[in-house]
Amino acid sequence: MKEKLSHGRSRRPAGKLSHKSRRASSCALARFLGALGLTSAHGTPPPPPAQILEQVRLNQAQQQLDLYGQLRSDATVIPFRLTQTGPIIRYTFAQPPVVLQLRLGEKGSALELVKSNSTEKFSASRLDEKIGGTGVTFGDLALSFLYWPNPEFIGEDSVRTRACWKLRLHPPSKSAAYSTVILWVDEQSGAIMRLEAYDWQNKLAKKFEVVSAQKIEGRWFLKQMRIEEIDQGTGKVQSRSYLEINK
């Protein structure tokens, strides 16, 4: 009788795992990939980095806006008007009196100087010029880094409770102001939550971070962004400016 019971017991084919074992192995694999930054906060693999960057560009280029804001650094306040019709963004500054137009195309962005009846390409020699003495340059408004090739996915993080993908970007040539840009991209909206820009000695030069957001016509939009310039010698913040948007 014992012999019959022994032979009647079901045997698992060699090399196959039970459902419980497979589940444990899957959990272990998920934890391992998560530790490497290869899965999202929701447990699914992140999109390819080029696709994440494309979503950021689409997020920037699909808005209709007419807002007022200011650049602020200590006692310096530079008011501006921000209008956007799809891929065309226009900044109108009162002081210094200048109107800039940014065109977001499929392959690149173009910053233009708006005159009374025409536009012309913004001079490359002025891209590093600070706007009204703040820490924001004209080149910062050009968003050229959104078109840098071969972005790298380097993990996940959170910025002000928002789950973000992190990308590392390198410019196609040394004519760019920065050698590396690290982006924190909101996983749900595709919005830029934080940006770190490194110089050609690989030292942190400038940091941008969304401080707060606001709802305008049913959509979330930037309310305040902090811009910090970093002293190359000490690594400490040497100036702090804010880009603020009013309803």
pLDDT in tens, the chain (247 residues): 444 434 444 444 444 445 444 444 433 433 333 333 344 455 678 999 999 999 999 888 888 889 999 999 999 999 999 999 999 999 999 888 899 999 999 889 999 999 988 999 999 999 999 999 899 999 999 999 999 999 999 999 999 999 999 999 999 999 899 999 999 999 998 999 999 999 999 999 999 999 999 987 777 789 999 999 999 889 999 999 999 998 7
Q: What gap in Å lies between CA 25 and CA 144, rounded to an integer?
A: 44
The pLDDT score that the predictor gives to residue 10 is: 43
Q: Which DSSP state fits 147?
A: G
> Per the structure block, which two tokens stand in for 164?
């973000």
CA–CA separation, 238 vs 51, rounded Å? 35
What pLDDT, on a 0 to 100 scale, did the predictor assign at position 43? 62
Q: Which helix (H) or strand (E) segment is 54 a member of? A: helix 49-61
In the chain, what's the furthest Cα-to-Cα distance? 103
The two structure tokens encoding residue 220: 């979330």
Spell 110-140 as b/e; 16+ CB within 10 A means b: ebbbbeeeeeeebeeeebeebbbebbbbbbb
Distance CA 38, CA 82 (A): 38
